[in-house]
């Protein structure tokens, strides 16, 4: 079974500052890793994913994440955030044999002017 | 890009009534769809896997007789909350995986409020 831990429930940050949202996972099998963003009262939008290959993954809206197998982490980063990045961010994992996604508890990113 | 729709986007009903939520994949076929439930300020919890042409697979702790799932075609799955109660009030989200780069597309969600 897989599980996902997002250590920070809330991350406040000023506009144009860098940010890192942490994600750790546990799994006994090889997995795919994802970051999704959810704006208020909306569904989920895929930011980026790691399937294989390069461990540094670039996504939409200037976000990137790095897969670290030894640390079982997939932290999300952005060098300079905007007010519009304020949202809930979910890290998720799925094993390579099913399409089931297991989500972390989410991190609320709040960007202040 | 691929789109998944849900209908209705929100519904208010009286306790004891049944509510049907539709999930459609608009430009691709999905033999499998997933249903999630999200309580306020919480994460998405997988409820069940909807399988076209066969019975749905429910996650542990989810009552299959209360949450009826029917995958009527390759583009439509429905979730029926039977005899809804206030504790069933939640945000219900469906998703459909594609075989393209292991991508899943999520519907916009249905907010259910049971009075």
pLDDT in tens, A51-109: 888 999 999 999 999 999 999 999 999 999 999 999 999 999 987 777 788 899 999 99
Task: Give pLDDT tens digits for A18-58.
Answer: 999 999 999 877 889 999 999 887 788 999 999 888 999 99
Query: Residue B49: in which H helix or E strand, if any?
Result: strand B44-51
Model confidence at B2, pLDDT cuts 50, 70, 90, reads low
For all residues of chain B together, what is the average pLDDT? 91
Hey, of B44, B56, B97, B107, which one would you mutate to test binding to chain A, going by the most A CBs within 10 A of its CB? B44
Identity of the residue in B6, B43, B102 whose CB atom sits nearest the CB atom of A90: B43
The pair of structure tokens assigned to B43 is 């994460």
Distance from CA of B107 to the nearest CA of A (A): 6
d(CA B29, CA B26): 8
When pLDDT is cut at 50, 70 and 90, the band that residue B69 belongs to is very high
Tokens of B103: 């991508």
Chain B nearest-CA distance from A80, in A, is: 25
- In which band, very low, low, confident or very high, does the pLDDT at B101 lie, cut at 50, 70 and 90? low
Q: What is the DSSP string of A4-59?
A: EE---SEEEEETT--EEE--EEE-SS-EEEEEEEE-TT--EEEEEEE-SS-SEEE-
Inform me whether the pLDDT recorded for B58 exceeds 90: yes
Q: Check if the beta carbon of residue A45 is closer than 8 Å to that of residue A38.
A: yes
> Which residues of chain A are within 8 Å of residue B96 when distances are taken between CB atoms?
none
Confidence of residue A13 (pLDDT cuts 50, 70, 90): very high
Cα atoms found within 13 Å of the Cα of residue B72, Cβ hemisphere only: 11
What confidence category does residue B56 fall into, taking pLDDT thresholds of 50, 70 and 90? very high
d(CA A55, CA A52): 8
The span from the CA of B29 to the CA of B36, in Å, is 19
C-beta separation of A50 from A74 below 8 A = yes
């Amino acid at each position: 079974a897989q599980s996902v831990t997002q250590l920070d429930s809330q991350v406040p940050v000023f506009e144009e500052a860098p940010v890192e949202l942490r994600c750790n996972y546990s799994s006994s099998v090889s997995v795919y890793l994802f970051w999704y963003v959810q704006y208020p009262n909306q569904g989920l939008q895929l930011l980026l994913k790691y399937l294989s290959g390069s461990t540094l993954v670039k996504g939409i809206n200037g976000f990137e994440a790095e897969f670290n197998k030894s640390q079982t982490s997939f932290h999300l980063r952005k060098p300079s955030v905007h007010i519009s990045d304020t949202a809930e961010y979910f890290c998720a994992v799925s094993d390579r044999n099913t399409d089931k996604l297991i989500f972390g508890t989410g991190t609320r990113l709040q960007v202040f002017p | 890009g691929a789109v998944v729709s849900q209908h209705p986007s929100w519904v208010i009903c009286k306790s004891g009534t049944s509510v049907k939520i539709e999930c459609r994949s608009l430009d691709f076929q999905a033999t499998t769809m997933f249903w999630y439930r999200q309580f306020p300020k919480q994460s998405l919890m997988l409820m069940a896997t909807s399988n076209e042409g066969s019975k749905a697979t429910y996650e542990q702790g989810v009552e299959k007789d209360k949450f009826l799932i029917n995958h009527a075609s390759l583009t439509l799955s429905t979730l029926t909350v039977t005899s809804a109660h206030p504790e069933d009030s939640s945000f219900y989200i469906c998703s459909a995986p594609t075989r393209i780069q292991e991508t899943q597309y999520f519907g916009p969600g249905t907010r259910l409020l049971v009075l």
